[in-house]
Structure 1
């Protein structure tokens, strides 16, 4: 039969995973870094996922396809629900860092302003002794996938920095102006399952009840999913979680999301989205 069904433009798709969060039937998945329709019978053809794609890679087309199957959808959702997840704290013979969750205690400063000392970085040239800086990290683990939402590694009510995996490398002063006084969790919206990240973060928000969450994502389009996941996790948690979105440019500048000019994939590379 001819009916509406989703079609994905692989050239435009950047694998951000936002469409997966918008598909209640579980018809989409990230495979090899791209969104894929995993079963034609799972797509209802209503296009709820269309508005989720920042690249415009999704569209509805009329073509020959098997009819939508609600029973298949129920089976698919049950499979996703029962899919084995990597344990948050899995003991390993070598001592998995995730199984050693806890606070990091630091000695109190002996003098001077703690804010001035924290994150101060000295760059050295050839032949010079390496400079030092003070870490602002207060707990372990930092990877969201390793955290146990039922036993968060940071105190309830903490201010939380939710950062993309690339952010600590791209931002030269993370320990000086972003991390002090905050707990931290890092995740990748492109290479980690968006639904699993959403579920883990919602559970973490519910248990830890952070007083505020600062989301720091990279400016590349595939990273926008981190903000989407954070806002949806706040809704699902049932807690009043205030979220602030920040965008980190590839040259290390930190910009409020509402002031950042979005970028888009285009032939020849990434560039500012035309106005």
Structure 2
């Protein structure tokens, strides 16, 4: 199939390895001191590696390439983790929770017995950089796109925002990436029913709002959406 995929210019590559570190799918490795795309089916075409490259050696191209294989990527990650655990002599886990997509179900029993709040998180992972583009929990989902700090600033965040939503969180300032391409693919590839964007009042949070709005526009879908702004002292401003 013909699709968008990365291309690495070996002449421009300085061998720093930043792109290999930034590639969550393990598609890039260092070979003889230069970055190299190891497998087409490990590259999701979203380009998290592009902003990490200091020399501009990575670009997008349209060419014949194997389709992105998420299951193969997850299997490879688990294999590498198991190998690392063996070398370190530590017990092998069943898998890396940071890379394995799963749904979470809660009951009200604990809250009734202890009067403690119940987590409303319904899926894992939640970080925009880690969440898969396609997952069963996206089917018919009400999507929450939230800045990292909002859950700390607003006390009733779980009940007010996470409950009944699929949650994606991130900070464009700290991550140093543009989330719009990945969010576009998530909205375009799944049956998303609505989008709620929760941001802080600080200016840097505008990047998250902009990325979400851009994704909604580029997805080609007409989906109800809203933006909620949280103040630094924990109030809803609008």
Q: What range is the shorter-chain TM-score in? A: 0.5 to 0.7
Superposed CA deviations along residues 58-78 of structure 1, whole A, max 9, x for unmatched, are: xxxxxxxxxxxxxxxxxx988
Aligned partner of 1:140 among 124, 134, 150: 124
User: What is the correspondence of 1:256-267 to structure 2 with a 5 Å cutoff?
Assistant: 256=238
Aligned partner of 2:167 among 184, 192, 203: 184
Task: Note closer, same or farther for the CA distance 1:198–1:78 as it changes in structure 2 (3 Å cut).
Answer: farther
Partner of 1:102: 102
Distance in 1 between the 2:209 and 2:136 partners?
A: 22
Distance in 1 between the 2:154 and 2:211 partners?
A: 22
Tell me the secondary structure at the aligned position of residue 196 of structure 2. Answer: strand
Kept in 2, the 8 Å contact 1:147–1:153? The answer is no
Task: Note closer, same or farther for the CA distance 1:232–1:77 as it changes in structure 2 (3 Å cut).
Answer: farther
2:178 is the alignment partner of 1:199:
no
Aligned partner of 2:217 among 218, 225, 235: 235
Superposed CA deviations along residues 94-131 of structure 1, whole A, max 9, x for unmatched, are: 53223321111223x46xxxxxx69xxxxxxxxxxx97
Task: Note closer, same or farther for the CA distance 1:81–1:131 as it changes in structure 2 (3 Å cut).
Answer: farther
Task: Note closer, same or farther for the CA distance 1:99–1:254 as it changes in structure 2 (3 Å cut).
Answer: same
> Which residues of structure 1 form unaligned runs of 5+?
1-75, 111-116, 119-129, 257-275
- Relative contact order higher in (CA < 8 Å, ≥ 6 apart): 1
**1:207, CA displacement in angstroms?**
1.6
**1:180, CA displacement in angstroms?**
1.1
Distance in 2 between the 1:193 and 1:246 partners?
A: 23
Distance in 2 between the 1:181 and 1:248 partners?
A: 20
2:76 is the alignment partner of 1:79:
no
When the two structures are superposed, what TM-score results if normalisation uses the length of structure 1? Answer: 0.51
What is the number of residues matched between the two proteins? 158
Superposed CA deviations along residues 157-206 of structure 1, whole A, max 9, x for unmatched, are: 211111001111111111121111111000112122333x1111111111
Distance in 2 between the 1:78 and 1:203 partners?
A: 24
User: What is the correspondence of 1:38-187 to structure 2 with a 5 Å cutoff?
Assistant: 79-81=58-60, 89=74, 90-91=77-78, 92-93=81-82, 95-107=95-107, 109=108, 132-149=116-133, 151-152=134-135, 154-187=137-170
Tell me the secondary structure at the aligned position of residue 81 of structure 1. Answer: strand
**1:144, CA displacement in angstroms?**
1.0
Kept in 2, the 8 Å contact 1:152–1:207? The answer is no
**1:236, CA displacement in angstroms?**
1.4
> Which residues of structure 2 form unaligned runs of 5+?
1-54, 62-69, 83-92
2:208 is the alignment partner of 1:226:
yes
Distance in 2 between the 1:167 and 1:81 partners?
A: 34
Query: Could you say which structure has the larger radius of gyration?
Result: 1
